[in-house]
Amino acid sequence: MCNKLEERKRAMLMYHVQHFSKSEICHQLQRPRTWLDRWLERYDPGDVEHSLQGHKTGPQKAEGRWSDKIRQQVLQMRKDRAQLEQWRYAFYGAEAIHLELKALSSPEVPPVRTIHAWFVAEDLVPHADKSEEKRKSKPIPLPTADQVNRVQQLDLKGPVYLSGCDTKYYVVVLRDRYSHRCALDVFDNREAQSIVEFLVTSWRWMGLSDYLQMDNALEFRGSNRYPRSFGRVVRVAVSLNVEPLFNPPSEPWRNGGVEHFNGFVDDRLLKVPFENVHGFRSEAWACQDACNQTHRLPALDGQTPNEIATQAALRFPPEGYKRHQDRQLPQDQGFVSFVRLVRKSGRITLGAGDRFMVDPELAYQYVLARVDLAEKIVRISHNDQVLKTYDFSPETVGAWAEDANQIEEIVDDEVVKEQSIV
C-alpha cells in the first residue's frame, strides 16, 4: 500500500490530469469525500510536495506526555504569583504563565490550553457565570485603536478611604487601548486642575494620543451652566492636538479597556492596607510600573506594554509646556467629539440640555457629533456621512427647539432607555 503522500499525489493526478470524478476517486482510494475536498483545497501545482504534506493541527506534545516536573512547576508558579507579596501585581493566568516560560526559554513550554487544564483540575480557576446571555450591540462610531496612542482612555475611580480616615481619595487612570500602557496617581480631590496636572505629567513619558476617550463627568467635560464652554481638561487636550471623545451617557462599558483595568486595581492595589496617602500614592506608582514593565500580554505577542511603546513613534508635549497652568485657556482650536444615542424623538443631547435634531428614523442608533472649535460649528454624522451641521456658538444654545417641536414632541432626558437600545 502506498504511503499517505503518494496516495494524495495519486488523487490529484486522477482529478486534475485524468479528470476522474470525485465519486470515482473516493471509490477507488476508499477515502471519504471530506478527505478529497481537503487535499484539493490545499493542493498547489507550483509546490506539490509541500502542499500535500501533512500538517499537525494539535499540540506538538500530547498533554499526558508533559513531565510531572513541569506540571508541578507551573502549578507552583500560579500559587506563588497569587500569594507572594512581591508579585502581587503579576498576571497568573494560563496565558501569562505560558508567555513567562517562553520568555525564560524553559526546556518545556506547555500550550495555554494544557496549563489551563492543569489549573482546572486543581480548582485554581474561578467558574465563569454564563447565566446572562450576551446582547447584540449596535454599531457605534468609536475610533479603532490600531496603533500605540491612537486612543487613550481616562477614568476616575473612587472615593477610596484609608483606614481610620474619612478623607476621600481618588485614583485617576490613563490607559492606552493598544499597548495597554497605563499611568496611575492618587488625589484627595476630583478637581479638573488635578486631572490636568496628571495628564500633562503622564503625557511627558507616555506620549500624546490622537483621542482621549472618557465619560461625561463634569470634571472632564465642564460646567452644566455653560454647556458650550468646555472645562480645563478639554482645553488643555485640544491645545496639544488631542481630541477629547465623550462616550454615550450611562454607558461605562464603552471605556471597556480602562474599566477592565479598574477591576485589576480593585483586586490588587486597593486590597493593600495603607497607613497614609504617601504610601497609597507610592503603591499606585509601583502598580503602574509593574503593569508596564512585567505584564506579557497575548494581544502583544507576549511583549510588555513598555516593549511595544519603545517600537512606536511617539508624540510628546513641547519642551517646557506650561499652558495647563494658565488661569485662562482659549477655546479657539481643535475638535471635541461626542458619541450619542438618537432618542425616539430623533434628537441627541450633548450636555446640560444642549439638544440637536438629527432624524427620527435614526432612533436608537449611535451618531458622532464633532465640534469644530475654530469654526464654532458641530457636524453630526452617521456611518461616516455628515447628516446635519449646526452653529455651536454660545448664544445659539436652545435655538433649535422650535424647529424640533414641529417634527415631533420632545421627550424628557430622564426617560429610561428601552431594553432594545443595547
- Closest Cα partner for 339 from 377, 381, 369, 365? 369
Confidence at residue 297, expressed as pLDDT on a 0 to 100 scale: 85
- Closest Cα partner for 165 from 286, 280, 282, 266? 280
**Is the per-residue pLDDT at 414 higher than 50?**
no
Residue 183, SS3 per DSSP: strand
**Is the per-residue pLDDT at 267 higher than 80?**
no
Residue 139, SS3 per DSSP: coil
- Identify which has the larger pLDDT, 407 or 360: 360
**Is the per-residue pLDDT at 24 higher than 80?**
yes
- Identify which has the larger pLDDT, 397 or 400: 397
Confidence at residue 416, expressed as pLDDT on a 0 to 100 scale: 35
C-alpha 8/C-alpha 3 separation (Å) is 9
Q: Where are the domains of the chain?
A: 4-51, 77-121, 151-323, 332-411
Residues 329-385: tens digit of each pLDDT: 888 899 999 999 999 999 999 988 899 999 999 999 999 999 999 999 999 999 999
Looking at residues 104-130, what average pLDDT do you find? 80
- Identify which has the larger pLDDT, 268 or 17: 17
DSSP state of 87: G
**Is the per-residue pLDDT at 1 higher than 50?**
no
Cell, residue 240: 496639544
**Is the per-residue pLDDT at 422 higher than 60?**
no
Confidence at residue 212, expressed as pLDDT on a 0 to 100 scale: 96
Q: Which of 44-53, 133-142, 274-283, 329-338 has the lowest mean pLDDT?
A: 133-142
- Identify which has the larger pLDDT, 260 or 371: 371
**Is the per-residue pLDDT at 176 higher than 50?**
yes
Confidence at residue 398, expressed as pLDDT on a 0 to 100 scale: 62
**Is the per-residue pLDDT at 210 higher than 50?**
yes
- Closest Cα partner for 182 from 155, 162, 159? 155
Looking at residues 241-248, what average pLDDT do you find? 95
C-alpha 199/C-alpha 235 separation (Å) is 12
CATH code at 151-323: 3.30.420.10
DSSP state of 297: B
Confidence at residue 225, expressed as pLDDT on a 0 to 100 scale: 87
Residues 33-88: tens digit of each pLDDT: 888 988 898 888 877 888 888 765 555 555 557 888 888 888 888 888 777 676 67
Share of the chain above pLDDT 90, in %: 38
Confidence at residue 364, expressed as pLDDT on a 0 to 100 scale: 92
Give the strand pairing for 211-214 and 385-391.
unpaired
**Is the per-residue pLDDT at 269 higher than 60?**
yes
Averaged pLDDT score across all residues of the chain:
84
Confidence at residue 404, expressed as pLDDT on a 0 to 100 scale: 37
Confidence at residue 237, expressed as pLDDT on a 0 to 100 scale: 96
Q: Which of 92-96, 230-234, 311-315, 337-341 has the lowest mean pLDDT?
A: 92-96
Q: Which of 196-200, 286-290, 360-364, 408-412 has the lowest mean pLDDT?
A: 408-412
Q: To the nearest 10°, the Cα dihedral for 214, 216, 221, 227?
A: 150
Confidence at residue 408, expressed as pLDDT on a 0 to 100 scale: 37
Predicted TM-score (pTM) of the model is 0.70
Confidence at residue 236, expressed as pLDDT on a 0 to 100 scale: 95
Looking at residues 169-188, what average pLDDT do you find? 92
**Is the per-residue pLDDT at 411 higher than 50?**
no
Which residues does 146 contact at the CB level (< 8 Å), separation at least 6?
178
Q: Which of 82-96, 100-114, 282-296, 330-344 has the lowest mean pLDDT?
A: 82-96
